[in-house]
């Protein structure tokens, strides 16, 4: 059992709070991603789980046992570092064998010449070498076992780092932005390999990244962190479609979501720039409200057509083959809005022209000006549907 339980973790550096009362339960065998921008505290949280740093307040439990005073060695966690942290003076084989040697050999047995003479050492070492070889074979790095890290490519080094963590069969796998030093193509390949690794090993993975694509594709659940606080925890699609607050909605999704200031009108309808939009907000008339519209939620309409919400002059059109990203200055909006349109169905749009866009009411996300999400009845029904699919999916997971 290697579920992880974090309770009320806080940490300060100097006067600055890095973590603020973070509580999270990670299930055994789950792939959980800590997602957030640089400086949000996610790496610190990972290091606290590993035991490389100590929290100021709060507790950590792994597999049901409180590990707060325990050194990393005693926690049965393995870690893949952003810089890989491979020992440059040792061969790949020696790098991967070290954690096993530290655990299975006594200090006396580890002595360079003398140790080998002690009873049982040779057999143990042979076993260790066999384990290393087997792990290397799985990762397809057997052919570089005799080389030093300096002689390897970035992708190979990454695999060695993973191998060094894997070879111990830990109950928890920690990964600190392991793909950030790789080029884009390699990153995509390695993403798939990490997912496969998780499936094969079946242990708890805690993965730290600032890259949404990694978070969305790899994780069972994503924990979004901003400014040291946990903002939302949920399945990737939930985070995307059902953000808990404005900043989460702005962080997830590329291109960025468009936020429109509006006021609630009579009967709970919303007015944007003179045009109305029929959404049951459940709010009092004349309160300020913020509408979040993802780029793909826009559809083009004729001028003055039904449901038209925004219009403006096009600044820039980015043609990506199947999609168009249209940047336009919408009337009443300070910043350019980005809409994603289907290239085949969109009317010919060019810079300098006017464009008129509509939005379906149910695709709009509502936020209070202070940032928290306002869920309408329609949202709740949709959320219910998501929950149902989640339960079905969980049952489908082989244990």
Partner 1 sequence: MRMAIGARYDASAGRADVDPSAKVLPARRPGEAVAAVALAGPATVLLLLLFILPVAAIVAIALTDWQFGTKSLHFVGLANFEGIFADEAFVASLRNTLVYVSIVMPGTVLGGLAIALTIESGGTLRDFYRAIHFLPFMATLAAMAIVWEALLHPTIGLVNGTFAAIGLPTANWLRDEATVLPVLAVIGIWQNLGFAMVLFLAGLKSIPQDLYDAADIDGADRWLDRLMTVTLPMLGPVAMFVVIVVALRAFEVFDTVQILTRGGPGHASEVLLHTLYRESFEFLRAGYGAAITVVFLVIAVTLTLVQARLIDKRVHYQ
Can you give the binding site for partner 1, defined by CB under 8 A?
47, 50-52, 71-73, 77-79, 81, 83, 85-90, 98-99, 102-103, 150, 164
Name which of 52 and 386 has its Cβ closer to partner 1.
Answer: 52
- Residues 318-349 as b or e (16 or more Cβ within 10 Å = b): eeeeebbebbbebeebeeebbbbbeeeebeeb
Phi-psi region of 191 (alpha: psi -120 to 50; beta: other; left: phi over 0): alpha
Min. distance of Cβ 71 from partner 1 in angstroms? 6
- As given in the structure block, the two tokens for residue 116 are 């080998």
Question: Do 344 and 216 touch, CB atoms closer than 8 A?
Answer: no
Name which of 161 and 326 has its Cβ closer to partner 1.
Answer: 161
Name which of 90 and 374 has its Cβ closer to partner 1.
Answer: 90
- As given in the structure block, the two tokens for residue 61 are 């439990």
Min. distance of Cβ 99 from partner 1 in angstroms? 4
SS3 content of the chain, % helix, strand, coil (to 5): 35, 30, 35
Q: H-helix or E-strand containing 237?
A: helix 236-241
Name which of 99 and 312 has its Cβ closer to partner 1.
Answer: 99
Min. distance of Cβ 136 from partner 1 in angstroms? 17
- Residues 130-154 as b or e (16 or more Cβ within 10 Å = b): ebbeebbeebebbebbeebbeebee
Min. distance of Cβ 115 from partner 1 in angstroms? 12
Name which of 103 and 271 has its Cβ closer to partner 1.
Answer: 103
- As given in the structure block, the two tokens for residue 297 are 């939620």
Tokens 């397809």, residue located: 140
Min. distance of Cβ 251 from partner 1 in angstroms? 27
Min. distance of Cβ 12 from partner 1 in angstroms? 18
Name which of 151 and 196 has its Cβ closer to partner 1.
Answer: 151
Give the Cα separation of 44 and 52 in Å (integer): 9
Min. distance of Cβ 209 from partner 1 in angstroms? 18
Which among 259, 353, 346, 364 is positioned nearest to 307, based on CA atoms? 364
Name which of 11 and 164 has its Cβ closer to partner 1.
Answer: 164
């Amino acid at each position: 059992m290697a579920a992880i339980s974090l309770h009320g973790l806080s940490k300060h550096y100097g006067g600055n709070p890095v973590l603020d009362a973070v509580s999270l339960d990670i299930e055994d065998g789950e792939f959980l991603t800590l997602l957030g921008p640089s400086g949000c505290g996610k790496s610190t949280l990972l290091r606290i789980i590993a035991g490389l740093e100590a929290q100021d307040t709060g507790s950590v439990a792994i597999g049901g046992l409180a590990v707060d005073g325990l050194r990393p060695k005693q926690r049965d966690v393995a870690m893949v570092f952003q810089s890989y942290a491979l020992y440059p003076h040792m061969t790949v084989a020696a790098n991967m064998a070290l954690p096993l040697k530290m655990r299975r050999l006594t200090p006396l047995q580890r002595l360079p010449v003398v140790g080998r003479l002690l009873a049982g050492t040779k057999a143990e070492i042979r076993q260790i070498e066999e384990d290393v070889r087997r792990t290397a074979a799985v990762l397809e790095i057997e052919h570089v076992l005799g080389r030093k890290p300096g002689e390897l490519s970035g992708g190979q080094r990454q695999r060695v780092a993973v191998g060094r963590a894997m070879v111990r069969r830990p109950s928890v796998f920690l990964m600190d932005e392991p793909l950030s030093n790789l080029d884009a193509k390699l990153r995509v390949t390695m993403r798939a390999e990490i997912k496969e690794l998780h499936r094969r090993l079946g242990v708890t993975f805690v993965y730290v990244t600032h890259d949404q694509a990694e978070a969305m594709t790899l994780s069972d659940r994503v924990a979004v962190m901003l400014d040291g606080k946990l903002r939302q925890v949920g399945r990737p699609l939930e985070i995307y479609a059902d953000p808990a607050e404005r900043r989460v909605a702005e962080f997830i999704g590329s291109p960025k979501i468009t936020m429109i200031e509006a006021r609630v009108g009579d009967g709970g309808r919303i007015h944007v720039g003179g045009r109305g939009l029929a959404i049951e907000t459940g709010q009092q008339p004349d309160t300020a409200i913020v509408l979040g519209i993802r780029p793909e939620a826009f559809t083009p309409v004729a001028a003055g057509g039904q449901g038209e919400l925004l219009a403006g002059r096009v600044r820039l059109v980015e043609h990506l083959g199947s999609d168009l990203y249209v940047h336009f200055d919408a009337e009443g909006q300070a910043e350019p809005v980005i809409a994603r349109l289907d290239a085949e169905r969109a009317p010919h749009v060019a810079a300098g022209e006017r464009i008129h866009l509509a939005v379906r009411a149910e695709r709009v996300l509502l936020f209070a000006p202070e940032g928290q999400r306002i869920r309408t009845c329609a949202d709740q029904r949709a959320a219910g549907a998501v929950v149902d699919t989640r339960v079905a999916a969980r049952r489908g997971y082989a244990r």
